[in-house]
Amino acid sequence: MKIKDLVYGALLTALALAIPLMFGGYLRVYIPPFSATLASHVPTLIAMIISPLVAGLVGVGSTLGFLMILGPTIAARAAVHIVVGVVGALWIQKGKTVISAFGLTTLIHALGEALIVIPFGFSLYKAGVVIGVGTVLHHAVDAMIALTVIKMLGWKLSNDNERINA
């Protein structure tokens, strides 16, 4: 791993921790039983551009942040960010666009979060419709924020062996 990638990963992990810990009260949307913290997926989505390892580590940071502030159910949902980040990064490494990676991972994200809450006593309706559909909407909003940040940084949206122009 390049030092630059490590630094980006550390900064994104810090952001993944800070969003729920510091801004959760301001950015949280709660429509029982669904909750979402706006922008919480942004660090993981951006990390997909760097590497699968960095994306996975940022997902771990996100999981820890939610565990500290909201407990095991939300942390279990946040753990899905690890898989989402790694799969998206692998997709991008195959030469696919960032936008297609965000689209692909939307489905994985929603299904993962819906399935992960069933052992916590959620009905199939609440898990599938409320959590699943809510996650699709939340992922879409955060993907738009991530794309805006990526473009503002001048990073490329497709992998042509020079993913970051920094």
Output the domain CATH number for residue 31. 1.10.1760.20
For residue 107, pLDDT over 90 is answered with yes
Tokens of 61: 């940071």
Mean per-residue pLDDT over the chain, rounded? 92
For residue 91, pLDDT over 70 is answered with yes
Q: Whose CA is closest to 65, among 40, 86, 44? A: 40
Residue 160 inside a domain? The answer is no
**147 vs 157: CA distance, rounded Å:** 8
For residue 118, pLDDT over 70 is answered with yes
Residue 87 inside a domain? The answer is yes
**47 vs 60: CA distance, rounded Å:** 12
Looking at residue 161, its pLDDT comes to 45
Residue 118 inside a domain? The answer is yes
Residue 81 inside a domain? The answer is yes
For residues 75 and 164, the model is more confident at: 75
The pTM of the full predicted model, rounded to 2 decimals, is 0.92
Q: What is the longest distance spanned by two Cα atoms in the chain?
A: 47
- Domain extent for 149: 3-153
- Residues with Cβ within 8 Å of 92's Cβ and at least 6 positions away in sequence, in order, are 48, 49, 98, 101, 159, 163
- Are 115 and 124 in contact, with CB atoms under 8 Å apart? no
For residue 160, pLDDT over 60 is answered with no
**112 vs 77: CA distance, rounded Å:** 8
* Predicted confidence band of residue 157 (pLDDT cuts 50, 70, 90): confident
Residue 48 inside a domain? The answer is yes
Tokens of 102: 């965000």
pLDDT tens sequence across 3-62: 999 999 999 999 999 998 898 788 999 888 889 999 999 999 999 999 999 999 999 999
| Total count of domains within the chain | 1
- Using CB atoms within 10 A of its CB, is residue 118 exposed (0-12), middle (13-18) or buried (19+)? middle
Residue 165 inside a domain? The answer is no
* Predicted confidence band of residue 134 (pLDDT cuts 50, 70, 90): very high
Residue 164 inside a domain? The answer is no
Residue 58 inside a domain? The answer is yes
Secondary structure, 3-state, 8-77: HHHHHHHHHHHHHHHHHHHHEEEECCEEEECCCCHHHHHHCCCCHHHHHHHHHHHHHHHHHHHCHHHHHH
Q: What is the mean pLDDT of residues 79-103?
A: 97
